[in-house]
Amino acid sequence: MKWKVKKGPILLPLLLAAAILVGIAVFTRLNRETSVEHTDLGQKYLNELNYSGAVGQFLESLSLDPMDTPARLGLAQAYLGLEETERVPQVLQPLTDSGNPDAYRLLAQAQMEEQDV
């Protein structure tokens, strides 16, 4: 006795799953590119000493990609420029938890500036 397997009921869910995965990959890629654009613009503002503009761009970048290390470091630098040192530890915590040396450097700078006030 031969078993006949209908391919339609199996093929449709596989195609649907593949389409969903491709959609997720495209969406993630588009968000990542937008996140990088905001980080780059935030860095430009930071270089121009436009700390408020930099904060806005870095926050936008982090809303799209919370793991964006350059955006976190830039946001911490912008807060230092605005003399909002109390915000720096929270911004840097994910990076200090992972042992990022730049994050520790900025954290130390924030603590020194708090003591000078």
Kindly tell me if the per-residue pLDDT of 30 is higher than 70. no
Tokens read off for 50: 């436009």
pLDDT of residue 116: 76
Each residue's pLDDT tens digit, 47-94: 999 999 999 999 999 998 999 999 999 999 999 999 999 999 999 999
Which comes out higher in pLDDT, residue 27 or 96? 96
Which comes out higher in pLDDT, residue 29 or 69? 69
Phi, psi torsion values for 66, nearest 5 degrees: -60, -15
Residue 37 Rama label (left phi>0; alpha psi -120 to 50; beta): alpha
Whether this model's pTM surpasses 0.85: no
Axis crossing angle, helix 101-116 with helix 69-81, rounded to the nearest 10: 10
User: Is the distance from CB of 38 to CB of 61 less than 8 angstroms?
Assistant: yes
Cα 101 to Cα 107: distance, rounded to the nearest angstrom: 10
Each residue's pLDDT tens digit, 12-21: 777 777 778 8
